[in-house]
């Protein structure tokens, strides 16, 4: 046990990543009960639904668990940009006998501005809250800390990590470019440095005073041992848990992750409006090909993206779905979450014994 695992109240230095839409209360509880830190995300639901998810998790475990929220700056509507994007998508909708929506709006709120979500978390006081895509206002950070909640935040650069530390966050998640799902960059307009997990963990461990959680491309115990040797106190794994029966991944997602297609992942902005890594498919390759109009902001583009995904799925075509996955996706295993956690820890112990 190290300082980070002691603070988190966990036996094993393993966090199951929140994975909005894929991680479930059942998964989080199973991981926490087995000695790791289970996580769920309430980023894509309203405060009432988030409260219900927390209640379901609490009903299934008396161990610590993590609640994740998105802290992106809300997207600015731009009617001309949005209409140009919908016209760009029109031929793809037509392929499935459908029309693009007449207009699109932001389908997400941000914890930076969502008062109901903030009030709910203060009332519920989950053991751990993690921030992704940026940081909330300082007064919200201070209020959560005053409520006795342990705070984590993702960072993709050293500058972001310093911002996390300076804000009083307890631990930083070093999200390498290998990670599946949405990149945690604070400001997409500044671009993505694309730093890998190995370099990021060393940078953070060398320059920061707070514990480092490694995330990105870690799929087994050898990977955990590797990032721990670099200075991480805990490893966070997401894609590794997608095939667990407790996951909300649908059959198409499971089939894709279990196939040779999982060998190729790609970062794209065209699905959601924000950089995210998933298994390469037609949405990424064709919608994002050539001279395309500017992609609307996060949540606005995702509104159109989800509708195109639905149209394709209704026609029996999974090639447009967002099968978020990291670069180690081909190493995914189909095991119950608790068994996977125990397996990961056993592999980690074996790797340590080998030196």
> Predicted confidence band at 109 (pLDDT cuts at 50, 70, 90)?
very high
The angle formed by the CA atoms of residues 50, 51 and 54, to the nearest 5 degrees, is 90
pLDDT at 343 over 80: yes
**Pair 195, 285 in one domain:** no
Q: pTM for the complete prediction?
A: 0.97
**Pair 281, 299 in one domain:** yes
Kindly report the average pLDDT of the chain as a whole number: 97
> Predicted confidence band at 1 (pLDDT cuts at 50, 70, 90)?
confident
pLDDT per residue as tens digits for the range 59-88: 999 999 999 999 999 999 999 999 999 999
pLDDT, position 35 = 98
Domain count, the chain: 2
Q: Does residue 254 sit within a domain?
A: no
**Pair 243, 186 in one domain:** yes
**Hey, is 11 helix, strand or coil?**
coil
Q: Does residue 99 sit within a domain?
A: yes
Task: Judge contact between 242 and 303, C-beta under 8 A.
Answer: no
Q: Does residue 203 sit within a domain?
A: yes
Q: Does residue 345 sit within a domain?
A: yes
**Pair 116, 216 in one domain:** yes
**Pair 183, 321 in one domain:** no
State the average pLDDT over residues 316-337.
97
> Predicted confidence band at 48 (pLDDT cuts at 50, 70, 90)?
very high
Sign of CA dihedral 269, 272, 273, 277: negative
Number of neighbouring beta carbons within 10 Å of residue 271: 26
**Pair 202, 286 in one domain:** no
Range of the domain at 299: 77-107+259-330
pLDDT at 355 over 80: no
**Pair 131, 274 in one domain:** no
pLDDT per residue as tens digits for the range 12-23: 999 999 999 999
User: Over the Cα atoms of the chain, what is R_g?
Assistant: 19
pLDDT, position 5 = 98
Q: Does residue 243 sit within a domain?
A: yes
pLDDT, position 45 = 96
> Predicted confidence band at 257 (pLDDT cuts at 50, 70, 90)?
very high
**Pair 264, 318 in one domain:** yes
Q: Where are the beta strands (DSSP E) in 115-243?
A: 128-132, 150-155, 171-175, 181-182, 212-215, 234-237
160: left (phi over 0), alpha (psi -120 to 50) or beta: alpha
Q: Does residue 41 sit within a domain?
A: yes
Q: Does residue 87 sit within a domain?
A: yes
Nearest CA to 69 among 38, 45, 36, 52? 45
Task: List, edge to edge, every strand of the sheet that includes 181-182.
Answer: 181-182, 276-279, 265-268
State the average pLDDT over residues 100-104.
95
**Pair 345, 324 in one domain:** no
Phi, psi values for residue 15, rounded to 5°: -115, 130
pLDDT at 202 over 80: yes
**Pair 298, 152 in one domain:** no
**Pair 185, 292 in one domain:** no
* CA separation for the pair 305, 116 (Å, rounded): 26
Q: How far is CA 195 from the centre of its chain?
A: 17
pLDDT per residue as tens digits for the range 206-217: 999 999 999 999
pLDDT at 271 over 80: yes
**Pair 144, 1 in one domain:** yes
pLDDT at 352 over 90: yes
pLDDT, position 290 = 86
pLDDT, position 136 = 98
* CATH number assigned to the domain comprising residue 194: 3.20.20.70
pLDDT per residue as tens digits for the range 117-164: 999 999 999 999 999 999 999 999 999 999 999 999 999 999 999 999
Instruction: Give 198's contacts (C-beta < 8 A, 6+ positions apart).
Output: 176, 226, 227, 230
């Amino acid at each position: 046990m190290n300082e980070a695992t002691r603070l988190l109240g966990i036996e094993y230095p393993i966090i199951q990543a929140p994975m909005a839409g894929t991680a479930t209360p059942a998964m989080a509880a199973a991981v926490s009960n087995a000695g790791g830190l289970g996580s769920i995300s309430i980023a894509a639901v309203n405060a009432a639904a988030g409260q219900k998810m927390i209640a379901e998790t609490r009903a299934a475990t008396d161990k610590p668990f993590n609640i994740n929220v998105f802290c992106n700056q809300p997207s600015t509507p731009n009617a001309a940009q949005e209409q140009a994007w919908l016209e760009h998508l029109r031929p793809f909708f037509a392929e499935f006998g459908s029309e693009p929506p007449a207009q699109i709006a932001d389908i997400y709120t941000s914890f930076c501005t969502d008062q109901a979500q903030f009030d709910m978390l203060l009332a519920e006081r989950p053991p751990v809250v993690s921030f992704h895509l940026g940081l909330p206002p300082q007064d919200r950070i201070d209020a959560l800390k005053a409520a006795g909640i342990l705070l984590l935040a993702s960072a993709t650069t050293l500058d972001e990590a310093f911002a996390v530390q300076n804000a009083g966050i307890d631990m930083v998640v070093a999200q390498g470019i290998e990670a599946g799902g949405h990149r945690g960059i604070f400001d997409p307009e500044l671009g993505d440095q694309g730093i890998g997990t190995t370099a990021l963990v060393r940078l953070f461990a060398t320059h920061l005073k707070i514990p480092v959680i490694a995330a990105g491309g870690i799929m087994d115990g050898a990977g955990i041992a590797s990032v721990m040797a670099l200075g991480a106190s805990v490893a966070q794994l997401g894609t590794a848990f997608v095939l667990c029966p407790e996951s909300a991944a649908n059959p198409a997602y499971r089939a894709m992750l279990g196939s040779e297609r999982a060998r190729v992942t790609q970062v794209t902005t065209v699905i959601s409006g924000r950089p995210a890594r998933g298994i390469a498919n037609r949405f990424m390759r064709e919608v994002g090909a050539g001279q395309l109009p500017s992609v609307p902001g996060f949540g606005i583009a995702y509104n159109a993206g989800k509708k195109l995904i639905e149209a394709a799925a209704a026609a029996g075509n999974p090639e447009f779905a967002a099968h978020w996955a990291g670069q180690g996706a081909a190493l995914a295993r189909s095991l119950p979450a608790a068994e996977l956690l125990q397996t990961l820890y056993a592999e980690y112990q074996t790797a340590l014994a080998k030196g």
